[in-house]
Amino acid sequence: MQQERSRGLTHWTESCRFGHESNEFRYVGRLYMKNIKLIEVPSEIGAGTRGASLGIDAIKIAALDFMSNFFVHFPSEKIEVENQLLFEPIQSPYAKRIHGVLTMYERVSKAVSESMKAHFFPVLISGDHSNAGGTIAGIKIAKPKSKLGVIWIDAHADLHTPYTTPSGNLHGMPLAASIGEDNEENKVHDLDEKTIRLWDQLKKIGKINQKVLPEDVVFISLRDFEREEKAIIEKYGMKVITTSDVRRNGAENVCRKVLRYLSDCTDIYVSFDVDSLDSSISKGTGTPVSNGLREREAEDLISKFMQNRKVCCFEITEVNPTLDKENLMAEIAFNILQRSVNVLMMN
């Protein structure tokens, strides 16, 4: 790894001397200014469809196919996972494998908080979206006094709780946990004491009950949610920007509007679920939905957000190559990841 970095740095020096810009210039030349760290979280215990744990390797294969040395030039950390729980009986039907997800929250939050305290910008590549609850907790542990804004680019609201979930899958609950919401007024299920206790622990990870205020969350391309989630959105007046809004106004105007809306926030986390993309190009994910973003729209949006200095963390999630053809989803994800990091480096 060190040898590769040294070669890249030598190449960068020569590139500067001859006045041209190579991949090494973009990745290595500015690495020492921006300090990006990759955090890999191949956990899929929060998902209902198997295969998302393979998404990180699929993205790395896409990078190799594009002859990119992206994954060589950044320090990285791989988080230990609890995927063995997939082979064990479900204990809590309305919060499947919640004890494992709690463990993942602890590990992910620790990695994110320690990275930020060491002045790294964490870029997470995760299996399923339940891990985002750990990411948000980690940001707040590192910056307990910050007013955190969340840009949630996703077809789904992920605002279910064990009281309302139609599936019991925890990847539909990370935002509810992060805003400290039970939504008992719309409850569908009665929970056993163990599930209640574990859900409370999940919400209070890092000893912070509410990491994000509901009004500091912005949904982009949200289009598939249940009435229980809609009740929360309406209760708090949460900001929703549709695919049509993006298409009509353009990425730059939407970005400006979102950042103006979050202007009171001191830090911003951008979470990108690939199912925000239209189902015609997002077959390689567990829950594709029609009327989503085009690849270029998502790329432009995220790269615009990355130009803002308040953005402190970026996550890309839910790539599932077992549902895909010719690794298309991972290739799209890698293009978005690569461009986003390039923009970070330039800023």
Identify the domain containing residue 1 by its residue range.
1-34
The answer to whether 313 touches 122, Cβ cutoff 8 Å, is yes
Query: 50: burial class by Cβ within 10 Å (0-12, 13-18, 19+)?
Result: middle
Domain count, the chain: 2
Cα 43 → chain centroid: 13
State residue 347's pLDDT score.
Answer: 76
More confident residue, 201 or 2: 201
- 18 plus 105 within the same structural domain: no
State residue 336's pLDDT score.
Answer: 98
- 28 plus 117 within the same structural domain: no
CA distance 161 to 38: 29
- 3 plus 124 within the same structural domain: no
Cα 253 → chain centroid: 23
In this prediction, residues 211-237 reach a mean pLDDT of 98
State residue 34's pLDDT score.
Answer: 60
- 2 plus 54 within the same structural domain: no
- 42 plus 4 within the same structural domain: no
- 78 plus 200 within the same structural domain: yes
State residue 24's pLDDT score.
Answer: 36
- 161 plus 207 within the same structural domain: yes
Q: Is the pLDDT of residue 133 over 90?
A: yes
Interval 85-117: pLDDT, tens: 999 999 999 999 999 999 999 999 999 999 999
Percent of the chain topping pLDDT 70: 90
- Integer distance in angstroms from the first to the last C-alpha of the chain? 25
- 71 plus 89 within the same structural domain: yes
In three-state form (DSSP H/G/I as H, E/B as E, the rest C), the secondary structure along the chain is CHHHHHHHHHHHHHHHHHCCCCHHHHHHHCHHHHCEEEEEECCCCCCCCCCHHHHHHHHHHHHHHCCCCHHHCCCEEECCCCHHHHHCCCCCCCCCCHHHHHHHHHHHHHHHHHHHHCCCEEEEEECCHHHHHHHHHHHHHHCCCCCEEEEEECCECCCCCCCCCCCCCHHHCHHHHHCCCCCHHHCCCCCCHHHHHHHHHHHCHHHCCCCCCHHHEEEECCCECCHHHHHHHHHHCCEEECHHHHHHHCHHHHHHHHHHHCCCCCEEEEEEEHHHEECCCCCCCCCCECCCECHHHHHHHHHHHHCCCCEEEEEEECCCHHHCCCCHHHHHHHHHHHHHHHHHHHC
String of b and e for 96-117 (b: at least 16 CB within 10 Å)?
bbbbbbbbbbbbbbbbbbbbbe
- 146 plus 126 within the same structural domain: yes
Percent of the chain topping pLDDT 90: 89
Region of residue 221 (left: phi > 0; alpha: psi -120 to 50; beta: else): left
Which residues touch 68 (CB under 8 Å, ≥6 apart)?
23, 334, 338
Tell me the CATH number at 182.
Answer: 3.40.800.10
In this prediction, residues 63-92 reach a mean pLDDT of 97
| Average pLDDT over all residues of the chain | 91
